[in-house]
Structures are given as structure tokens and as C-alpha cells.
Amino acid sequence: MANLISGGPSIVAIGGGNGLSAILRGLKLYTRNLTAIVTVADDGGGSGMLREDLGMPPPGDIRNCMEALANAEPLMQQLLSYRFTEGRLAGQAFGNLLLAALDGVSDSFDQAVARMSEVMAITGRILPVTNSNVQLEATFENGTSVCGESKIFAFKKAQDCRIHHVRLLPERPPALPAALDAIRQAEIILLGPGSLYTSVIPNLLVEGVADAIQESKALKIYVCNIMTQDGETEGMTAADHVAALLEHGGAGLIDMCLCNNASVSAGLLERYSAEDAEPMQVSRRDIELLGVEVVSRPLTDESSHFARHSGIKVAEAVLELHRQRASTKIF
């Protein structure tokens, strides 16, 4: 069982979706100096509806992180994750609506997030990577492209080829200054886990973010996914993931790739196989040829019905690696 460390190392976790929120649940048990920097490129589901109707950045990934870091009363946490089941609000999360309301009475989206963070008494901070209203465009190896994060899955399946690169529209939107400051002050920077092209890489396309990570003296770790992802990274290896990060974010972006070496149950493998997903193939040699160290640990959440990371196992592995590097001064 994890023990809460008063203070703790300064950690910045960058990403979005379920992957980021999963590791935040573990990290908050070990440090209060925790900042989540969250993508705002989502345009699907309830977030997409609010984005289209109100012209605000999508609240969904922010809300997921809020749920992970909240220390509010149980009823308030239950309200945050509640989804309406009927009427025009069917499928919409109350937490999204609360953040939309706070955005309406705040000067900026990041201020709305800060106010909601106070209401939920979260551990650490949650920062949108930018306040800009951005769209994600994916270009495929056959030269075709599609605009809109929610359209990438179906478009990729139809094209039946890999994503070549992604970009934000408008390109290079300004980063939230607080996000850049957090990166500069961090002792540990984590990228992932999560959807490579739609949750992790979009953060690197915001002006100044990749440069700040490259220039940082922190221990920089990519937490590699346990499985490939249908409609996004089918057939890609861990080395392919690292290469895509470096192609979008530049050399020096990461020091280390943290991979899972625990087996996935036969039942889960069968289910994921039906979705064109498979366990991530890790070649130490291929990753090291990219100038990135490889570390493997058992990272799966055995209580989950999905092949997901255990936040506690990731936190323990990351802190162990940081202690080792701090004692040898090797980063």
C-alpha cells in the first residue's frame, strides 16, 4: 500500500484520456507536487457538443483528471462523474457541464479549471496545455488527411495505412505560461500512457512545450502503452511509438521508455485481438538505437477488466528510477 509523502518530487504528467487519469491516481499517493498538463484537441462525445455549442475547449479530459485527483466529499465526486441517461443531455457528464458553467463566469478556461480544482480539493494542479480552440489533423502514409480528432479512427480504418504525422489547426497555438513554468521546474516529466497521436503528441505541437521538455534537466520518461490501439497504432512497436514522439517533439524529448513486462491474461488477449489490438512489442535494441534507454517493469492493473496501467505500479517504478538517477547524477 502506498504511503503519502509530504511534499514529494515535482512531477509533470503530460497527456490526456484514460491513460493520464490512471497514472494520476497512483502518483497523487506519493507527491503533492503534481501537475497534469492536458490536451484540448478532443472534439467527440459530450465534450465535442459543448465545444461546438459554446466555443470552449473540450472539458472531458480535464474532467477525467479532476476525478483522479479529487479529494472532495464522495457525493461531489459522484456528481462529477454522473452521466445523464435521458433527453438531450443523454451521455453528457455533469462534470463537463460544471466546467462549462465555470468557464462562462471566468476570464479564461484555465481559470475555470483552477476554480473547479478548488471545489474538488484536488491534489496538485491540472492545466490545459493551451487556452486556444484547436483541431487535430492527421495525415496518413498514403498522403490523405482528415481534420477532427473524433474522425481519425474511422478514417484510418478506411485508408488501411499508418498515420504519418499529426498537426494542430491553427498551428503552434500559444502554451499556457503556467504549463511551461511547470515543465521547467519539474524533477520528473512523464509522457503517456494514452493514445499516441490523439492524447500525447498533440501537447507537443503547442508552441514552446517540446522546447521546454528538451531543455529540462528533469528525468524524462515515456510510459509506453501496454497494448496497441485499434484505429490509431495497429502494428506499431514500442520503438515506433518512441520514433513518432521524437519526430513530432524533437531529439532530447525523452531519456527513457518505461515498458510493461507483465503478461496479459488469455481472456483479455482474445478480446483485444477481436479489436485489432495486441500486446506492445518491445525491442530494446531498436529503442536504444533512437538514443532512449529502456526499462521494463510489471505495470498492469490486475483488477481491471482492461489491459491498463496500475497507477501505483507506475508511480513506484518512476520514483525508484528517479532515486537511482538522483544518486548517480545520471539523467
Q: 104-126: per-residue pLDDT in tens?
A: 999 999 999 999 999 999 999 99
Cα 216 to chain centroid distance, Å, stands at 19
Structural domains in the chain (count)? 2
Instruction: Name the grid cell of 132.
Output: 486556444
In sequence order, what are the beta bridge partners of 293? 256
Determine contact, residues 80/67, Cβ cutoff 8 Å.
yes
Determine contact, residues 134/169, Cβ cutoff 8 Å.
yes
49 against 2, higher pLDDT: 49
pLDDT band at 284 (very low <50, low <70, confident <90, very high): very high
16 lies in the same domain as 103: no
Tens digit of each residue's pLDDT (9 = 90 or more) over 49-70: 999 999 999 999 999 999 999 9
Provide the sign of the torsion angle of the four alpha carbons 130, 102, 55, 92, taken in this order.
positive
210 lies in the same domain as 238: yes
190 lies in the same domain as 315: yes
**Cα–Cα distance measured from residue 155 to residue 114, given in angstroms and rounded to the nearest whole number:** 36
66 lies in the same domain as 211: no
Question: Alpha helix locations (H) across 216-310?
Answer: 238-249, 266-273, 284-288
Does residue 134 form part of some domain? no
pLDDT at residue 304 in the model: 78
**Cα–Cα distance measured from residue 83 to residue 49, given in angstroms and rounded to the nearest whole number:** 14
19 lies in the same domain as 66: no
% pLDDT > 90, the chain: 92
pLDDT for 316 beyond 50: yes
Does residue 248 form part of some domain? yes
Cis before 170 (ω within 30): yes
104 lies in the same domain as 78: yes
pLDDT at residue 330 in the model: 55
244 lies in the same domain as 271: yes
CATH of the domain at 184: 3.40.50.10680
194 lies in the same domain as 108: no
191 lies in the same domain as 324: yes
pLDDT band at 89 (very low <50, low <70, confident <90, very high): very high
Question: Average per-residue pLDDT in the chain?
Answer: 94
86-94 long-range contacts, Cβ below 8 Å, gap at least 24? 91/45, 91/46, 92/46, 92/49, 92/50, 93/46, 93/60, 93/63
Does residue 141 form part of some domain? no
79 lies in the same domain as 208: no
Residue 262's contacts (CB-CB under 8 Å, 6 or more residues apart) are 298, 299, 300
Average pLDDT of span 87-91: 93
Average pLDDT of span 199-212: 98
Element holding 169 (H helix, E strand): strand 163-169
Does residue 270 form part of some domain? yes
Q: Name the pTM for this structure.
A: 0.95
Q: What range defines the domain where residue 293 resides?
A: 1-39+177-331
Does residue 157 form part of some domain? no
Does residue 151 form part of some domain? no
Average pLDDT of span 186-210: 98
206 lies in the same domain as 312: yes
pLDDT at residue 1 in the model: 42
12 lies in the same domain as 123: no
Highest mean pLDDT among 143-147, 298-302, 326-330: 143-147
pLDDT at residue 302 in the model: 76
What letter represents residue 303's amino acid?
A: S
